[in-house]
Amino acid sequence: MNAPRSLYAASAETMLRIPGDPPMRQSARDLLDNGELLQTARVTGIMAARRGADYLASIRHAELTSVEVDFQWRDDALIITTHCEGFSRANLGSRALLAASLCALTLVDMLPDFGAHIVIDGARIVGQKGGPQQFAYDFDPPLRAAILVTSDAVLGGHKEDRAGASVRAGLEKMAAFGVHLVEERIIGDDAGEIARTVRAWVNERVDLVLTVGGTGLAHTDVTVEAVDAMLERPIPGIMEAARAYGQSLTPLAFMSRGVAGLIEDTLVITLPGSRGGARESCEALFPSILHVFQTLRRARALR
């Protein structure tokens, strides 16, 4: 099973300007309007974007789904715009800029009579978007989050709380979106205490509760049963997405029994108790999970 992938996009532009008297500029424009010249430059730009590593030593692999090149006149300048889409943000803007620059150089090379006069100007990345970061989250009032680690071994001091630390680190990265960690607690593998703690946080209007541990197959793993019995509106797709992501990294992610859903307006997510499983679940769900709260707040505003 492959992990869900996010599509990214980047655009860049540069321009060709031909200084000189009007007859010279018009003559150059007549040549640049030649469809064959522009098509040659377009193919060069597309190849440059797709084979960026042949030109830039530091560029990383990017699986591109499309590369587009557009030419448009603006006053006496030919504007070259490139647009790249792919499943990796890495160097995507650089690829788009490389494509635009090599398009311009190709045209200069094919216009030898004007080469000494043509100016390549304004090369820049004009936009990057996509992936989980494409959603602009800024919660005011802030979202209140809590972490509940359920482990007899951690509570007794026999095991370091590395999974909880991974989840805490994931939450800290979302502070810029308006997510605040208000409480963190460690308890044992006790279904009754788990349920009481989660219910108390729901009553205190905590927005997001992340439990860590108790999602495996051992008889002491009771977090899933405790939380599942409380859910009023299960959201199975949340943990399906986390398991799909984990399965792409390890063949054993399917063994996690985690569940997620709403209790009143509190979102509860049961995360694995292993450091790797907890970290990968956060990578799969953050910050996209915040869209749940955006939807809830919109719905409340319409009541």
Same domain, 261 and 173: yes
Same domain, 128 and 149: no
Q: Which domain holds residue 253?
A: 143-301
Same domain, 287 and 149: yes
- Residue 31 in any domain: the answer is yes
Tokens of residue 267, six digits: 């979102």
- Residue 18 is predicted with a pLDDT of 78
Same domain, 189 and 161: yes
Question: Of 84, 107, 132, which residue constitutes the final position of a domain?
Answer: 132
Same domain, 256 and 109: no
Phi and psi at 267, nearest 5°, equal: -90, 125
Q: What is the CATH number of the domain that holds 42?
A: 3.30.70.640
Same domain, 226 and 290: yes
Q: What is the CATH number of the domain that holds 267?
A: 3.40.980.10
- Residue 204 in any domain: the answer is yes
The answer to whether 80 and 12 have CB atoms below 8 angstroms apart is no
- Residue 138 in any domain: the answer is no
Taking the C-alpha atoms of residue 202 and residue 194, their distance in angstroms, rounded to an integer, is: 12
Same domain, 127 and 147: no
Same domain, 58 and 158: no
Same domain, 171 and 68: no
Domain count, the chain: 2
What does pTM read for this prediction?
0.61
Residues 6 or more apart whose Cβ sits within 8 Å of residue 47 = none
- Residue 210 in any domain: the answer is yes
Tokens of residue 272, six digits: 């694995």
The answer to whether 193 and 187 have CB atoms below 8 angstroms apart is yes
- Residue 3 in any domain: the answer is no
The tens-digit pLDDT sequence of the chain (303 residues) is 344 456 788 999 999 887 777 777 788 788 877 778 899 999 999 999 998 888 887 776 777 889 999 999 887 788 999 999 887 666 788 999 999 999 999 998 888 777 667 889 989 999 877 654 555 688 989 999 999 999 999 999 999 999 999 999 999 989 989 999 999 999 999 999 999 999 999 999 999 999 999 999 999 999 999 999 999 999 999 999 999 888 877 888 889 999 999 999 999 999 999 999 999 999 889 988 999 999 998 888 776
Same domain, 115 and 62: yes
- Residue 136 is predicted with a pLDDT of 66
Four-CA torsion 92, 98, 99, 102, nearest 10 degrees: -170
Same domain, 238 and 147: yes
Taking the C-alpha atoms of residue 88 and residue 64, their distance in angstroms, rounded to an integer, is: 8
Q: Is position 54 annotated as part of the catalytic site?
A: no
DSSP assignment of the chain: -PPP---EEEEEEEEEE--S-HHHHHHHHHHHT-HHHHHHHHHHHHHHHHTGGGT-TTPPP--EEEEEEEEEEETTEEEEEEEEEES--TTHHHHHHHHHHHHHHHHHHT-TTTTTT-EEEEEEEEEEEESGGGS----SSPEEEEEEEE-HHHHTTSS--HHHHHHHHHHHTTGGGTEEEEEEEEE-S-HHHHHHHHHHHHHTT-SEEEEES--SSSTT--HHHHHHTT-SEE-HHHHHHHHHHHHTT-TTGGG----EEEETTEEEEEE-SSHHHHHHHHHHHTTGGGHHHHHHHHHHHT-
The answer to whether 263 and 275 have CB atoms below 8 angstroms apart is no
- Catalytic: which of 109, 113, 121, 138? 109
Which of 200, 50, 206 has the alpha carbon at shortest distance from 141? Answer: 206
Same domain, 81 and 45: yes
**What Rg, from alpha-carbon coordinates, does the chain have?**
27
Which of 196, 206, 204, 208 has the alpha carbon at shortest distance from 170? Answer: 208
